Structure formats: structure tokens, C-alpha cells
Structure 1
Amino acid sequence: MRRALLPLLMLLPSGAAGQVVTTSSGPDAVSVTIYRDPNRDGSQKMQLSWLNGYALISETRRVDIPAGDGDIRFEGVAGGILPESAIVTGLPDGVIEKNQDAYLLSPASLLDRSIGRRVHLRRTSRATGEVREHEAVIRSGAAGAVILQTEQGLEALRCTGIPETIVYDKIPEGLSAKPTLSVRTRSVAAATATITLSYLATGFDWQANYVGNLSPSGDRLDLFAWVTLASGDETSFVDASAQTVAGRPNREDGGRRIMPQASPLSLQCWPAGKTSDIPLVQTHDGAGPPPPAPPPMASPMMAEEIVVTGMSRSAMKVTQEGLGDLKLYRVPEPVTVASNSQKQVAMIDREKVKVESVYRAEIHGGAEERLVQIRMILRTRNRTSEGLGLPLPTGGVAIFVEGRARPILLGEGAIEDKAVGEDVEIELGDASGVLAHVVKTEERKQGSSFLLTASNDQDRPVRFEADFGKDIVAAGKALGRRNGRPLWAVTIPANGRVALRYRTDPTRDR
């Protein structure tokens, strides 16, 4: 009898009695449309190991349809497939039943599915190289020590010090070499058809990543953006038509992902150490050797692969299309959406966008005297006249300014979804060079009086805004409003200061 060494990938489980099994090993063409995680905002970065978006995957396949009852296996689907969402079109007589084969072929799953079965144990002598085979029965699975029963008794796999390998005669039913969806069909005659398989799959996400270069004068911004596609799935989609969708489509999150089981094989032997192998324990008086230093923490990006497509202004860029209230960004050329990786494609390229640097403070009640935190904000309007005029999807922003030798990071912020015509504000972090100071000058039952002073130590004027948390009355000055709250907007001269006297009015809060 011809036997197969672990791992064996060629045999497939047979179907039910009287039922013909045919296999489609992969798609002839595939389209991947990725939808964002609706609960992640622009300031949150994607984690490849925990992607909560999803994808609509549409595959074109050529399949053989058996006469009578049959089973068609679609290999190479996404591991995160939601089987209940799968739609198969093109079968002459439709589908009777859909099933996801959740157990992938691996050393551990092959071992677990062979518990209680007879296998062959192949051992090689280190001294002579002689190979011997023994019959054995697997008595325990891949969790911990693997126990085998031979004619000599019970023993643990690879704990004898002799190189040994398990040889399997066949693959147990229910194991698949790739993530697989199977459908039961019933056809009056055998046929060959081109079908379309469409389904939703979890473990995908995407985001926009913006990079801006701010001019020395602070009023112009060169803005470039990537669309970053991320797949945490184990299946790669080669030469795929790739799209992303911006917006919040209405989708009930009731799909249940069945994680394919393909755990690695981890063998353990019984402890065989000696007392001299046990390290000394550090005591309170310092006796004994110090404990070893902890290993360095791995960056989340160390295990991620990012493929960048389109590095120059003349390179490939995604194209935008309307999709009702949503926006679709289509990659114009086929790309590979690889497993457990990220891919970036150029998305937006705008030069000399008009921006305004704003220093904003939020003023609330508090101590008698205090400094107020000021945030630096870049502001523009999403209009053609300002240099934009296109939908801006959610994403993180990194703003650089020219230094003497190289660009210097000014700050990082985020952009939420912005339609054409909306205000765009990028908050970059705490400001330096502009300070705000509040002093309580008088306290009454009818309201307290305050003095707000803002200073600018830069050699150019800056725009300053004080956003008050509740209604106030300013002394001799008219205030604007933002989001229903009072706003004091003023220009601070270069190396100068401005001041505002105001009082709280309790009657306005009623």
C-alpha cells in the first residue's frame, strides 16, 4: 500500500454514498470590495491581527456539474467567509445546501482527526541511518504530549531521542487543504457551467493615509493620500479587481465567522530536568544571580507586510465613483490582495491647498488663575477654489514642514469623512509659542468676571480662537458662535498679545 508522509495535501474526503464530488481549486477571476470598520475613527490605526471591517468577494469559476445529487467544493475562498451570505449564480438547477469546511489540513488537525486510528511510526537510527517502521495507534491529540500505543506499550511521540515520523495511509474525512465552501446540487444531466460565487467575509479593512507638506509661510499645503487595503485573512486573491467603499452602509452585524481550524503541532515531553537545572530565586537581600532582562517588545508593525503601489505623481491612482450616498474608490489595475498584509495605492494628490493655521483654546470654569491648553489646528474648506473640492474619506494625517536638512514632523491628526464644501480641520496637538492665561478678577452671585490674555512669541501674526464652554458676556466686544457656543476669534500680532474681559451670566444657562 502506498503511504503518504505528513503533511499530505492531495487526497480529499469522499462524499456521501452515491454522491459525486467535484472540486473547483480556485477562481478564474475575482473582485474584492472592502468596507471599513464602522466603529473605527480616523485617529485609530488598523491592527492587522484584529480587523473588524469586511469584504464583498465575487469569484468567477468554471465548474463541472455532476448528474443527480452532487457536491461541488469551492476551494480557496476566504477563511473568514460568512457561509450564510454566499450566493451562487449560474447553476442550471440551483443549490440545495451550503456548507463551510472549517477544518483545514495541518499537522495538528491531521493528528487530532486520527485519534484511535492505526498509523505507521517511522524511526531512523542516528548511528546507522537504518529506517524501521512500527504500527501504532494514536491515543491522544496535538494538545501537549502525543501518546502512541505500540506493541511495546504507551509512549510519547519524539520523546525517545530517536528521529521519528508518523506516516498516514489516508486523510480523514472533513479536512481541507484550503478554506472551502461546498454546495450540494441536484441536476438532471451532467454539465459544465461558468458560475459566479459571491459572499461576505470578515477580517478586512481599509483607511486613507494622508501626508501633508506645509509651506514655510504656513498658508499652503501639498496633500498626498494613500488608500491602504488590509487583509487579515489566510487566503490571497491574485490579480483581483479591488475596490473600497467609504461611508456607512446599513448592514446587520449578525454574521457568524467560523474560524478555520489549522493549529500548529506543538510536541511536549515529560519533564526530565535535574535540581541543578532550577535557577536560583532572587531574594529580598539580593542573594543569587539577577533575573534575565525581559525580551524587547515587538512593534505591531514588525509582523506586517506593506506593499506600496504608485510612488510617483504619474503612477497609478484609485478612481472615485458615486455609489448612492456612498463613495467607491476603484484600483484601476488588477492587484494582489495578499493574505495577512497591507497594500497602499496612491489616492489623492493636491498641491498648494490653501490652509489657515489656527491656535484654539477651550475655556471652561475653574481655578482662580490658570494656564489654558492651546491646540494647533490646520483649517481649510473642501472646495475647488481652496485647492481641494473632492470627497475626503476618513484617515490619519501626518503634517511635515521643511527643515534645514530634511522635512520635520509638525504633528499628526485625523480627517473624518468630509463632503465637498465642508470645513476641514486637522488638529495637530499642543501648540508652542502661543500661550493663554485666565485670571478671575471678581466673583459675584450674579456671575464672576475674568481676564483672558493670549500671547504670541512668533515673528508672524497668528489666528487665535477661544471657544467658551458656556454663555458669557464680553466687555465691549461682540463674540461669534461655534456649535451654539460663544467664540472669540482674533489675530495676535507678531510678538504681541491680546486680552478679553468677560463675565459669566448664570441667567443665560437657564
Structure 2
Amino acid sequence: MIRAIGPFALALLLAAPANAQQVEEGPGGPDRVSLTVYNQNIALVEDVRNLNVPAGRSRQEFPGVSASIRPETVGLSGRGLSVVEQNFDYDLLTPGKLMESAVGNEIGIVRTNPGSGAQTTERARVLAANQGVVLQIGDRIEVLRDDGVPTRVIFDRVPQNLRPRPTLSVTLDAEGAGRRETTLSYLTSGLTWKADYVARFDEKAGQLDLTGWVTLTNNSGATFSNAQTRVVAGDVNLIGNQGGYNPRQPVRGGGVRGNGTQSGGEGALADVYVYPLPEAVTVANNQTKQVGLIDAAGVPATKRYLRVINGFFTAEQPIAAEVGVIFTNGSGAAARALPAGVIRVYVKDEAGEPRFIGESQVDHSPAGSEIVVTTGDAFDVTVQPRLVSSERVSKRLVDYFRTRYAMEYTVRNARPEAVTVEVRQRGLGRDTELTEQSIEGEMRDARTVVWRVPVPANGETKLTATITTGG
């Protein structure tokens, strides 16, 4: 067993720089703390403590800060205070570190006779502590090993550079003495969050119930107790990549931007959304915690069947339609921006039991967005495209021509109820013209045309169209 014994002078443990008048040991932790956690493995910590600060220069200790702190981001504010110097001590006190720090110094070795229980104590000089501990005891050299003889190592003091937990020390210059509130703020890695949702979809009623959770994961090396916590949806610009910062490699975020509105407690801030959690939470180190984000009932929702056809061709076999659930987060309790996350959809079976039917990743969605959750493919709703004919109709430039495609799409429905299938034809070029359509389509964008095809129960519908487009 390795242990440190005896009291030691505070001045030895916390030796101040020569220009500091006095060393003050701050409280063991913050009086209150708030967290702002971003999507990019980074968080802003605001640590408020009441300190008794002497006039002039002194050094204050802030134990309990994150072990993953970015020291260059530290800011300290308080009435009449200015910062002269700051140090982050992260070499933690462990038996191994304690022995390494003792190299060149003497320690006490206490051995206990297993038979008689008698103890013998010797002084030894530590010569090395690499892959093992090498000692000089008098004129002999020994290796400290586990040979079955109970042995204790006694250290005279704790080295000045070792800390029981990560500690930030700040040299302050105060205009006057007295107790005052100080706010320590810094960025740290090791704190992440993500959103997860559960949607209980009732197709007959045309609505769903939506529950959302925020999952916080803390690997920062510190515990944050009763922290007022916010999570930020959207990416901010960081220099470097996750876990390291390279000043030559800027990384710019590309999250969905909000519409500037505020609802449901969240707010838009510089094109990202901030979501305050409803209550203060304690996030322990090496802990994952889930906190409720949204609970909305009766949100209008519909099912969508979709098949995207890329290019003009004939399919030998029918292609299954993609199934999705669509709702808008713009009415009722769901009228709020939703952070990106995974939405898992459940429906009730004939016995009324919920059954999982699929999940989908959704992007950051401002209030009023149409959200589509793709749950899988429908084997009983299919689309089979057929290229009836194609011909080049004109050639205006050397590298530009127009082609006329005659297409037929057979849309089948083996379900006992009628459905509407959205057929999207992609691969269009310049100056597209739609003619001879059996169902009127619309251009979704410059390269995509969309038809909404009604199909009767246990039936089929043939969609025909002529598409003339530039190459």
C-alpha cells in the first residue's frame, strides 16, 4: 500500500510566485455552475464562486475544473479584479506519480513479518521508477516488488506539482479586500449531447404523439452538480478537429439555420438554437444522462409512399416504394424547433401493442418545418418504370442536345385501402418540357419532376408522360 502521511505546510503545496503577496485556497467547487453543450464535443462552463480576496496580488485556487479544459479560453470576472497570471495543473496525484516524483529522494519502507506481525522500518533512496521501483537501502540495491511480504511505502510530503484533481490557479490583482462573487468561464471538450425521439403513429386518426429526449454524455474528467444546462443545435465554427485544434485547418459548421422565432423555451442565437433543459441536472463524470425535451400529443401526421427514379430506363421488376411518416412541427405543443436526432416510429398492432416499424435521422428543423421520417420500404406498394421510346430532337451546340423520352410508370397497390404514391423522376437537364401527361406533374427542382399518383385498393395506375430535356 502506498500512502502519504503527516500534515504539510500549505506554502509547500501551493508555492506562490514571488510577486504574489498571499495564497488563498478557493472553495472545493463552484457555488453554482451552468453548462452550454454544443454538437461538436465542446461545452462552455460558467463557474460561479464566492471568494475572499485580499487587496493587491494573490493567487486563487479553483479545484474541480474540467480535466479537459482549454486553458487558453479561460476568463475570470469579478468586481475590482484583474488577472495577472493563470496556470492549469492537471498532473493528478496517483501512487505511480507519487513514486515517480520521489526519484532522487528518500522514502520510508515498512515491512511486516507475516508470522510475528513485527514491523521494521528503513529509509531508502528512490533511484528509478520506470518499469519498476529501484531502491538504495544503505549499501545495497533492491527492487520493490510484490513477493508476499506486506510492505508499505511512506512519503514525507505530497510533491508540489501533483493535485488530487485538476486545478486552475489564477494570480489576481484586487483593488480592495473582501468577499466577492467571481465568474470563471472556459471551454472544455468531453461533453456531448444528442437528441432522440419516439413517435407513436396512428394512421387511421392521422396523428402522432412525439416524445423527445436529450442524452448528455460527460467524459470531461469533472462532475457538474445541479448545473443549469442548455444544449445548442447547429454547428459553430471551430479551428481544428474534434479532440485537437490545428490553427491551419479551420472547420466550418453547416447546420440548418433557425427562422428567428422563439417558442417552447428555446431561442435563436446567431443562427443556432439554444434549448434550456427544464431543470438543473447533475452530470457526473463518465456518466450518460437522459432528460426530457418535448412531449407533444395529437400532432397531425400522414403516411407517404415515395419512389425516386434516377434516369430513364426500364425496370425488369417492380421497385418497392419508400414509406415515410410526415408531420409539421408548426402547430400545438410541437410548434418548436427540433434539434437533429433519430426519430423511431411505433404503430399499434391489432392487439393494441406498439410495434417498432423503423427509424430515420432528421436534420435540425426550425419551427414550421415539414419533417419526413423514412421507416422502410413497402413490399405491397411498387413502381415499375418503362422507357417506351427516346429520340434526339435537336442539337443546338456541339456539347448540347435535347432528348425526348416517352415514359410509362406502372404503380401497383396490394393493400386493402387506396394510397397515393409520389413518383419522382430525376436526371433532367436544361430546358425541360413536360407533355402528354396522364397526371399533371410539377417541377420539384431543376432536375426533378414529381407526380402524385392515386392508386385504388388492390389495383394499379399507369402514369404516362413525355419529357423533353437538354443534355
Q: TM-score, normalised by structure 1?
A: 0.75
1:221-243 Cα distance to aligned partner (Å, 9 max, x none): 11111222232212111122222
Gap change, CA 1:438 and 1:122, over 3 Å in 2: farther
Maintained 8 Å contact 2:203/2:303: no
Q: Distance in 2 between matches of 1:443 and 1:78?
A: 66
Question: How far apart, in 1, do the equivalents of 2:127 and 2:380 lie?
Answer: 73
Tell whether the 8 Å contact from 1:86 to 1:197 is kept in structure 2 after alignment: yes
CA 1:155–1:161: 2 relative to 1, 3 Å: farther
Judge conservation of contact 1:221–1:354 (CA < 8 Å) in 2. yes
Distance 1:231 1:321 in 2: 24
Q: Which residue pairs with 2:85 in the alignment?
A: 97
Shift of 1:60: 1.5
Partner Cα separation in structure 2 for residue 159 and residue 447 of structure 1: 86
Question: 1:157 Cα shift?
Answer: 3.2
1:482 aligns with 2:470: no
Residues 59-88 of structure 1 deviation map (CA, whole Å, 9 limit, x = unaligned): 221223345442211111112212121111
CA distance in 1, matches of 2:363, 2:7: 47
Consecutive unaligned residues in structure 2, runs of 5 or more = 246-263, 393-402
What does 1:39-438 correspond to in 2, within 5 Å? 52=41, 54-90=42-78, 92-141=80-129, 144-151=131-138, 153-187=140-174, 190-217=177-204, 219-250=206-237, 252=239, 319-323=265-269, 325-365=271-311, 369-384=316-331, 388-403=334-349, 404=351, 406-438=353-385
Partners of 1:31 and 1:240 within 8 A in 2:
yes
2:16 corresponds in structure 1 to 15
Shift of 1:110: 2.0
TM-superposed CA distance for 1:213, in Å, is 0.5
Give yes or no for the alignment of 1:494 onto 2:454: no
CA contact (8 A) 2:5 2:156 kept: no
**TM superposition shift of 1:347:** 1.8
1:250 positional shift: 4.7
Per-residue deviation, 1:342: 2.3
* Cα displacement string for residues 8-37 of structure 1 (whole angstroms, at most 9, x for unaligned residues): 998734223574322212111111121222
- Higher deviation after alignment, 231-240 or 453-462: 453-462
Distance in 2 separating the partners of 1:376 and 1:426: 9
1:32 aligns to 2:35 (yes or no) = yes
CA RMSD, 1 decimal: 3.1
1:72/1:254 CA distance change after superposition, 3 Å: farther
Q: CA deviation at 1:252?
A: 4.7
The residue number in structure 2 matching 1:274 is: none
Structure 2 distance, partners of 1:7, 1:250, is: 49
Q: Is the 8 A contact 1:13 1:175 kept in 2?
A: no
Counterpart Cα distance in 2 of 1:152 and 1:361: 86
Q: Does 1:459 align with 2:461?
A: no
Relative distance call for 1:495 and 1:405 in structure 2 (3 A) is same
Deviation (angstroms), 1:408:
0.8
Taking every aligned residue pair, what percent have the same amino acid on both sides? 29
1:248 Cα deviation from its structure 2 partner? 3.5
2:3 aligns to what? 5
Distance 1:388 1:194, change over 3 A: closer
Change (3 A) 1:461 1:355: same
In 2 relative to 1, CA 358–189 (structure 1 residues): closer, same or farther, beyond 3 Å? Answer: closer
Checking the alignment, whether the CA contact within 8 Å between 1:81 and 1:257 is kept in structure 2 is no
CA contact (8 A) 1:9 1:105 kept: no
In the alignment, what sits opposite 2:254?
Answer: none
Displacement of 1:448 after TM fit? 5.4
Partner-residue secondary structure (3-state), 2:379:
coil
How far 1:152 sits from its partner (Å)? 6.6
Partner Cα separation in structure 1 for residue 456 and residue 5 of structure 2 = 74
* Amino acid aligned to 1:23: E
Change (3 A) 1:374 1:158: farther
Residue aligned with 2:96, SS: helix
What is the letter of the counterpart of residue 28 of structure 1? D
Displacement of 1:450 = 4.3
Code of the aligned partner of 1:5: R
- Following the alignment from structure 1 to structure 2, what is the Cα–Cα distance between the partners of residues 183 and 162? 45
Deviations 1:267-301 (A, max 9, x none): xxxxxxxxxxxxxxxxxxxxxxxxxxxxxxxxxxx
Q: 1:228 to 1:368 in 2, by over 3 A?
A: closer
Does the CA-based 8 Å contact 1:225-1:347 persist in structure 2?
yes
The code of the aligned residue for 1:479 comes to G
Counterpart amino acid of 1:179?
P
Indicate the structure whose relative CO is greater, using CA pairs within 8 Å and at least 6 residues apart.
Answer: 1
Question: Aligned equivalents of 2:159 and 2:225: distance in 1?
Answer: 30
Answer 1 or 2: which has greater strand percent: 2
Please report how far the alpha carbon of residue 187 of structure 1 lies from its aligned counterpart in structure 2 after TM superposition.
Answer: 4.2
Q: Find the aligned partners of 1:422 and 1:390 in 2 and give their Cα distance.
A: 9
Indicate how the Cα distance of structure 1 residues 320 and 124 shifts in structure 2: closer, same or farther if over 3 A, else same: same
| CA 1:125–1:352: 2 relative to 1, 3 Å | same
In the TM superposition, residue 205 of structure 1 has moved relative to its aligned partner by 1.9
Q: 1:136 and 1:388, CA in 2 relative to 1: closer, same or farther beyond 3 A?
A: same
Alpha-carbon contact 1:413-1:427 (below 8 Å) kept: yes
> Measured at CA, do residues 435 and 62 of structure 1 come closer, stay the same or move farther in structure 2, by a change above 3 Å?
same
Contact 1:6 1:107 survives alignment (8 Å): no
CA distance in structure 2 between the partners assigned to 1:360 and 1:9 by the alignment: 74
Bigger Cα displacement from structure 2, 96-105 vs 178-187: 178-187
3-state SS of 1:459 partner: coil
Match of 2:251 in 1: none
Alpha carbons of structure 1 residues 156 and 467: separation in structure 2 relative to 1, 3 Å: farther
SS at 2:72 equivalent: helix
| Structure 1 residues 497 and 126, CA gap change in structure 2 (3 angstroms) | farther
